[in-house]
Amino acid sequence: MKYLLRRIAISNKNSLLRAVAVAAAGSALLYSSNVDTNSRPTVSLSIPRITGNLSSLPWGTPHLSPATSDNLPYFSRVAPDPAADITNGASNDDSRHSSQCLGRDTIANAAAKVGPAVVNLSVPHGFHGLTLGKSIGSGTIIDPDGTILTCAHVVVDFQGMRASSKGKVEVTLQDGRTFEGTVVNADLHSDIAIVKIKSKLPLPTAKLGSSNKLRPGDWVIAMGCPLSLQNTITAGIVSCVDRKSSDLGLGGVRREYLQTDCAINAGNSGGPLVNIDGEVVGVNIMKVLAADGLSFSVPIDSVSKIVEHFKKSGRVVRPWLGLKMIDLNEMIIAQLKERDPAFPNVDRGVLVPMVTPGSPADRAGFRPGDVVIEFEGKPVASIKEIVDIMGDKIGVPLTVAVKRAKNVVSKLTVVPEEANPEM
């Protein structure tokens, strides 16, 4: 304290009091015993004694994490150690995001859970027996039977729409083992493929999580083999949980991606995006070349549905209605009503701005400007809900309720067709 007072130029009593108040951090009882500015001031500092359990105080006992900056210590609040809750028998709330308990080893522990199941894929490209090069990528073993999840563009020739190198893939595990894998299924629209290997010894596997639980700002880890550098790990956050393919200028079937700022490069394609619980929540697929921190992954919930399609029919079956649709919210509805007073009174629904001529929707009687409010008897508020209700129903009549100008409600019956795989 004496050192502090010597370092501060004191012009009057108030300056002295402010200086000592800073040193006392506002937690003590402070007063000056001499008010004569011409004499040497003296300061009395009285710190009240606290009795009882500190945890009984209104603000509780803070968890402090020491750090240093320019040799001056400071403290900051951090989340409590989850192990303490387990030791004390506290219940574990699964709905609580694990990012609240991010610690020094959190990312390392998550990577350690998935790492052994991440593989390097190499597919040679040749012409009349001549090897002209190879494509490299990553994958994840998701089943002890040797099922590997990866990207279609790693193992499939996009231009010829056929499997490269007769469907054979060189697979290298983290432990150094190598296998010859076979391309079992590939869906070019979603860019998801399945490769299979056979092993007499047990294979490591990764656990699949749920991408629906992700929020912008959640920590994630990108794993893979960029530029054939195996066992590479980068970390970042989720930037967007529902980046639409149209936002990226991609045509064809509507798709949604997870956007992250994890660093991914050539060779990361097909590798897992992992949450800090060590669960796969996405498949890394691409990045924006002209920018940093713009990487995209296919959500694992969508991938799981694609895998189910592969198991059921060997391909992904997509119903097609011939509608362009837009999710409505309060702001969009207010703007549309401002432009057109006849716009129907709705608080939710899916707007149909365009109907493809000759499509199933056109034959069913859909009109531009319709608002879909029910699908198969269920209220709908998003395109995703409509897609989930349709599932893989092809040639099955579906009932739809639409609301039109001046609040006219019409019941329509539409029969979906299978989408053209080359669309």
Pick the catalytic residue: 138, 164, 191, 297?
191
Q: Does the annotation count 191 as an active-site position? A: yes
Whether residue 173 is contained in a domain is answered as: yes
Per-residue confidence (pLDDT) for residue 157, from 0 to 100: 72
Q: What three-state secondary structure class fits 21?
A: helix
Q: What three-state secondary structure class fits 349?
A: coil
Verify that 225 and 303 share a domain, yes or no: yes
Per-residue confidence (pLDDT) for residue 102, from 0 to 100: 78
* CATH at residue 264: 2.40.10.10
Per-residue confidence (pLDDT) for residue 417, from 0 to 100: 93
Per-residue confidence (pLDDT) for residue 7, from 0 to 100: 45
Whether residue 367 is contained in a domain is answered as: yes
Pick the catalytic residue: 98, 135, 153, 189?
153
Verify that 176 and 265 share a domain, yes or no: no
Inform me whether the pLDDT recorded for 365 exceeds 50: yes
Q: Calculate mean pLDDT across residues 222-240.
A: 93
Neighbouring C-beta atoms of residue 245, cutoff 10 Å: 16
- How many domains does the chain contain in total? 4
Verify that 363 and 389 share a domain, yes or no: yes
Whether residue 393 is contained in a domain is answered as: yes
Answer with the one of 284, 308, 332 that is the final residue of a domain. Answer: 308
Per-residue confidence (pLDDT) for residue 391, from 0 to 100: 87
Categorize the per-residue pLDDT at 101 as very low, low, confident or very high, splitting at 50, 70 and 90. low
Structure tokens at 185: 């299924």
- Whether pTM > 0.85 for this model: the answer is no
Whether residue 249 is contained in a domain is answered as: yes
Q: Which residue has the higher pLDDT, 356 or 158?
A: 356
Inform me whether the pLDDT recorded for 26 exceeds 80: no
Verify that 291 and 357 share a domain, yes or no: no
Per-residue confidence (pLDDT) for residue 8, from 0 to 100: 42
CA gap 405, 409 in Å, rounded: 9
Per-residue confidence (pLDDT) for residue 34, from 0 to 100: 45
Verify that 303 and 331 share a domain, yes or no: no
Q: Calculate mean pLDDT across residues 14-25.
A: 44
Whether residue 94 is contained in a domain is answered as: no
The whole domain housing 163 covers 114-196
Verify that 171 and 227 share a domain, yes or no: no
Locate the DSSP E strands across 1-160. Answer: 29-32, 43-46, 64-69, 72-77, 118-127, 130-143, 147-151, 156-157
Inform me whether the pLDDT recorded for 24 exceeds 50: no
Q: Does the annotation count 269 as an active-site position? A: yes
Per-residue confidence (pLDDT) for residue 421, from 0 to 100: 62
For the stretch 103-112, pLDDT in tens is 889 999 999 9
- Residue listed under structure tokens 């209104």: 58
Mean of pLDDT over the chain: 79
